[in-house]
Amino acid sequence: MTEHCLGNIHSVESFGSADGPGVRYIVFLKGCRMRCKYCHNPDTWAKPSGSAEAPLPGENWQSAEQVLKQALRYRTYWKKNGGITVSGGEALLQIDFLIELFTLAKEKGVHTCLDTSGNPFTMEEPFFSKFQQLLEVTDLFLLDIKQIDEKKHRSLTGQDNANILAMARYLSDVGKPMWIRHVLVPGVTDEEDDLRRLGAFVRSLATVERFEILPYHTLGVFKWKELGLPYQLEEVAPPTEAQIARAKSLLGIS
């Protein structure tokens, strides 16, 4: 692990309630290789191109100590089951910073949670050894599985999903708790066979504590327009209650 490495921070949320148990302090990191067509944070995509020594305009580099100090101001609100969640972008692209932040957090007895799409995962070095270090200081993984079908996953995100599914299996094999989440996009991620396959895959994992649907929404569309990016799902409406209920039934979610 790099000593005292810095993270490039996009933003924080002081009182998150949807990204892990209890009340969470959520840190959003910059950088993501995936280009999900429904992404509500496209402003986090770009990999930091400056540095802590020479930051570009808009870049916010902070040490793990700084981030934890700010988070601990809200500790009284976390009670017994809250804590810190790191999200993105894709937080695993800044794995050295993650390891340092979560190591310091565990020294303070803080519950740590990683919200990830798993795209950087590999069993090759040097990543895999670092990932094993990260496991030691991460209490819970929130893994977003965008699409179970490889071709559809590539069409939706621009990336393969084999290593993402491998990461889910590995977390299960080593006994690491996880929540699996799936964004339900009508006409895109709600095909019956895909949902049945995803449900079967999740049931094959031993450590899934929660399996949930995240209904597609359009709250981030304005960011695409601000960035001058074409939004391809302009005509897609959020799922209805009936569509959500159907998906839950196909996935085997009670």
- The low-confidence residues of the chain, meaning pLDDT below 50, are 1-2
Superfamily of structural domain 6-251 = Aldolase class I (3.20.20.70)
pLDDT (0 to 100) of residue 2: 42
The answer to whether 140 and 112 have CB atoms below 8 angstroms apart is yes
pLDDT tens profile 48-72: 665 556 666 678 899 999 999 999 9
Q: Rounded CA gap, 250 and 245, in Å?
A: 9
Give the pTM. Answer: 0.94
pLDDT (0 to 100) of residue 55: 62
